Amino acid sequence: MADSNSAADALRFWGGTPSVYPYVVAGNSLEAVNRTGVEHFRAHNIMLADKIIQALSSAVLVSLPEPELRSGTVILHFADRQAALIKRL
């Protein structure tokens, strides 16, 4: 039975003490990234993005092709085929 200050449904858990687990995972993940080196992850990301870029026509590429000018995301636009490709994915 909930006390008079608690909601009678699942909302009674709203705003309670946050779980420690996500913070522990995030802390360990940051340590692993720092041990491995951000440069390693960036080089791997560039390699994967380059594979995508080389496999497709430059007409669909929205992102800049030069690795030093693009972020970690490859943006593509397939014009009239865009909706069909999104549906298929």
**What is the C-alpha to C-alpha distance for residues 19 and 10, in angstroms, rounded to an integer?**
16
**Cβ atoms of residues 60 and 53 within 8 Å:** no
pTM, 2 dp: 0.66
In a domain, residue 9? The reply is no
Domain containing 28 equals 19-88
**Residue 3 reports pLDDT greater than 80:** no
Residue 5 domain flag: no
Does residue 56 belong to any structural domain of this protein?
A: yes
Number of structural domains, the chain? 1
Give the tens place of pLDDT for each residue, 14-29: 777 778 999 999 999 9
Please report whether residue 11 resides in a domain: no
Alpha carbons within 13 A on the beta-carbon side of 14: 8
Kind and range of the H or E element at 86? helix 82-88
Counting residues of the chain whose pLDDT is more than 90, the rounded percentage is: 76
